[in-house]
């Protein structure tokens, strides 16, 4: 009985060390906690419908997770693109913007630049508009950038056509040769044309 007890004590004392050791499958020199040199097969996997990330291998073969993001969706174990009718929505509070006499607002910052709040937003809701304003240009445009401006109060929003009051790369082409207004709630759809360095109005709803 004493011999058996000694063996058990020895096993227990070694166990914590074994748990911390690196394990190699197909290799005698593991470099990670679990290092597999060969193919991996998973059988009888349970599909979780609430998964929002994938597992992939980096250039060194180390497994890592990748977020699906807003444009991909996992449904019944299959990855697919979201419908193109899905538009992410942001908000731009205009209460502190600079407004010149006559309601002129130059180079409007919608916070759509890299790292800004509306970087990946398509529909931008404009709130707290300081009275009736006239927009001469919009910052942050790049080729193919698509934006809907959603006016959500009773003020009048005017887009000035190719106004020199804003920088050349921020100006808006209404395609009508003249400016237009949105009184009260409405929406303006614009896309940025990189080769000509300007915003182009596609449509608007008053």
Q: Which of 55, 81, 107 is the last residue of a domain?
A: 81
- Name residue 125's beta-bridge partners: 91, 150
What's the pLDDT score for residue 6?
37
Q: Examine the domain organization and report whether 63 and 140 are in the same domain.
A: no
In a domain, 188, yes or no: yes
Q: Which of 148, 152, 110, 109 is nearest to 129 (CA)?
A: 152
18 lies in some domain: no
Task: Please indicate, yes or no, whether residues 51 and 100 belong to a single structural domain of this protein.
Answer: no
Residue 134's domain is classified under what CATH number? Answer: 2.60.120
46 and 113 together in one domain: no
Q: What is the pLDDT of residue 144?
A: 94
Q: Which of 81, 110, 129 is the last residue of a domain?
A: 81
| pLDDT value at residue 180 | 86
Judge contact between 192 and 142, C-beta under 8 A.
Answer: yes
Residue 170 and residue 72 in one domain: no
Is 74 within a domain? yes
Query: What pLDDT, in 10s, does the model give residues 85-128?
Result: 677 899 999 999 999 999 999 999 999 999 999 999 999 999 99
Looking at the 3D structure of the chain, how many domains does it have?
2
Query: Are residues 73 and 94 both part of a single domain?
Result: no
188: nearest Cα among 164, 156, 166, 163: 156
Residues 38 and 100 in one domain: no
Residues 42 and 110 in one domain: no
Specify which residues 173 forms β-bridges with: 200
The span from the first CA to the last CA of the chain, in angstroms, equals 92
Measured distance CA(120)–CA(116) in Å, rounded: 9
In a domain, 13, yes or no: no
Residue 107 and residue 50 share a domain = no
Q: What is the rounded distance in angstroms from the CA atom of residue 170 to the CA atom of residue 147? A: 14
In tens digits, the chain (206 residues) has pLDDT values of 444 443 333 434 444 544 567 787 878 877 777 777 777 766 665 655 555 566 766 667 777 776 655 556 666 566 665 555 677 899 999 999 999 999 999 999 999 999 999 999 999 999 998 889 999 999 999 999 999 999 877 888 999 999 999 999 999 999 999 998 888 788 999 999 999 999 999 998 87
Q: Which residue among 15, 46, 81 closes a domain?
A: 81
In a domain, 184, yes or no: yes
Residues 93 and 60 in one domain: no
10 in a domain, yes or no? Answer: no
Supply the range of the domain harboring residue 194. Answer: 89-205
Q: Quick check: pTM over 0.75?
A: no
96 and 72 within one domain: no
Say whether both 122 and 61 belong to one domain: no
Query: Are residues 166 and 98 part of one domain?
Result: yes
């Amino acid at each position: 009985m004493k011999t058996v007890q000694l063996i058990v004590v020895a096993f227990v004392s070694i166990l914590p060390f074994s748990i911390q050791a690196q394990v190699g499958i197909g290799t005698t020199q593991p470099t990670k906690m679990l290092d597999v040199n060969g193919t991996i097969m998973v059988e009888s996997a349970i599909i979780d419908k609430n998964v929002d990330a994938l597992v992939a291998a980096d250039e060194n073969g180390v497994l890592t997770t990748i977020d699906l993001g807003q444009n991909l969706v996992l449904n019944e174990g299959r990855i697919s693109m979201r419908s193109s009718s899905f538009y992410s929505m942001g908000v731009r509070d205009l209460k502190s913007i600079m407004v010149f006499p006559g309601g002129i607002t130059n180079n409007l910052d919608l916070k759509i630049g890299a790292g800004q709040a509306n970087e990946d937003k398509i529909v931008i809701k404009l709130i707290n508009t300081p009275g009736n304003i006239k927009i001469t240009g919009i910052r942050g445009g790049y080729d193919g950038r698509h934006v809907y401006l959603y006016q959500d109060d009773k003020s009048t929003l005017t887009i000035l056509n190719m106004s020199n009051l804003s920088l050349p790369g921020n100006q808006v082409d209404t395609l009508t040769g003249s400016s237009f207004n949105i009184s009260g709630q409405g929406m303006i759809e614009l896309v940025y044309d990189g080769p000509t360095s300007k915003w182009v109005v596609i449509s608007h709803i008053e």
